[in-house]
Amino acid sequence: MSELRFTVEHEWLRAESDGSVTVGITEFAQQALGDVVYVQLPELRAYAVGAEVSVVESVKAASSINMPLAGTVLEANLLLAEAPERANEAPLGEGWFFRFRPDDASAMADLLDQAAYDQLIANQG
């Protein structure tokens, strides 16, 4: 697995060998949300950075998943539509949300690395 990058909104990103990027929510996010009961998957189209791409509903709250970098969504994880609890059970595995092709792949370097993300959640705890 390649190095993960993170957003301050608690999304993780992983660059794939084909140039796409896989996105999901972090362990911290899924614990804060509680049991996920519904996931609205994104449309396969281009999004601007910060645009709402997906919605996650849990027993506690609803939360938006925003586009971490500008790009085009190539694939949505259809497993989440049938089994939204996968976002809780395997947030870094089968619980991924979507894959996209970034407009500028080098922008990944501007996101948080593991150490910076760990510091972020330590400060929120």
CB neighbourhood size of 6 (10 A): 21
Closest CA to 60 of 36, 83, 77, 41: 36
Segment 16-42, tens digit of pLDDT: 999 999 999 999 999 999 999 999 999
Q: How high is the mean pLDDT in each 10-residue block of the chain (125 residues)?
A: 86 96 95 94 97 95 95 98 95 96 96 96 85
With 0.85 as the threshold, say if the pTM is over it: yes
Instruction: Write the CA distances from 19 to 7, 10, 74, 83, 108, integer angstroms.
Output: 19, 22, 11, 27, 12
Q: Give CA–CA dist 15/20, Å, rounded.
A: 6
| Ordered domains of the chain (ranges, CATH) | 4-103 (2.40.50.100)
CA 34 to chain centre: 16
Residue 30 · residue 91 · CB < 8 Å: yes
